[in-house]
Amino acid sequence: MKPVCLVIGAGAGIGGTVGARFAREGYHAVLCRRSDKEGLDRLVAEIRADSGDASGMLLNAIDDNAIEDAVIRVEKEIGPVEVAIFNLGAQIGDRPLADTSHKAFEMGWRLATFGLFRLAKTLLPMMADRGSGSLLVTSATAAVRGNAGQHSHAAAMGGRRMLCQTLNAEFAPKGVHVAHILIDGAVDAPDTLGKMLGPERFQQLRETRGAEDGLLLPEKIAETYLHVAQQHRSVWTHELDLRSFSDVAWWNHV
């Protein structure tokens, strides 16, 4: 039986691509996303066409028990989750405080912070019982600094980073590796950046900045996810950053 790589938040960007990379490495990739069954089926079909194993699941992560049930079902029907990728977030673009509703603020937390808590609470005890497992958390610059207009996103990601640390502190000694992977830049991802920009501006960005490797490429990101998941337990990385060579690090200014 293949080990399972469970991806929560599997669009055609980081999530789906990381899943496909793990599938190529011999994992059964379980791809979960909220909507677009067609897109999900396509990702699964591509993995299978590449001789990999994959399953797809539509789930709305904020529904009660949605994450919990998915984990339990996967563990029961497919196999033990050896690697989980938590890839949800609610980057809603820059909005002044006046335009950030209570609901938008709460939604940021519910997806990005509480969602991770729920996944961890369900999955990490199982991993701890097995004495192994990795939880790779896709993070963003907003986890380490709060820019204007990022009230919801930054509060959610800042909380998430601290949660990754408390999870590590409790579970690393039990053999479970939690890694906080800070994506510091624009990702060449049609389902997130593409939707934020619209097809034309996204295509244009790809042809200019992307053509010179100025956008983070999901298939290259996936190599680092795989590496981190495979680190020997004597040398675990808890926090790392990723950015394009031509981009300015978040701590610098132009």
Which residues pair with residue 85 across a beta bridge? 7, 136
Pairing mode, strands 4-8 and 81-86: parallel
* Cα atoms in the 13 Å half-sphere on the side-chain side of 219: 3
Residue closer to its own copies by CB (options 28, 118) is 118
Residues 27-53, buried b or exposed e (16+ Cβ, 10 A)? bbbbbbbbeeeebbeebbeebeeeebb
Q: Least distance to its own copies from the beta carbon of 140, Å?
A: 11
Residue closer to its own copies by CB (options 26, 131) is 131
Q: Least distance to its own copies from the beta carbon of 65, Å?
A: 10
Q: Least distance to its own copies from the beta carbon of 246, Å?
A: 5
Residue closer to its own copies by CB (options 34, 220) is 220
Q: Least distance to its own copies from the beta carbon of 46, Å?
A: 21
Which residues pair with residue 183 across a beta bridge? 140, 242
Residue closer to its own copies by CB (options 55, 100) is 100
**Residue among 168, 189, 187 nearest 177 (CA):** 168
Q: Least distance to its own copies from the beta carbon of 204, Å?
A: 18
Instruction: Return the residue matching tokens 């624009």.
Output: 186
Residue closer to its own copies by CB (options 56, 185) is 185
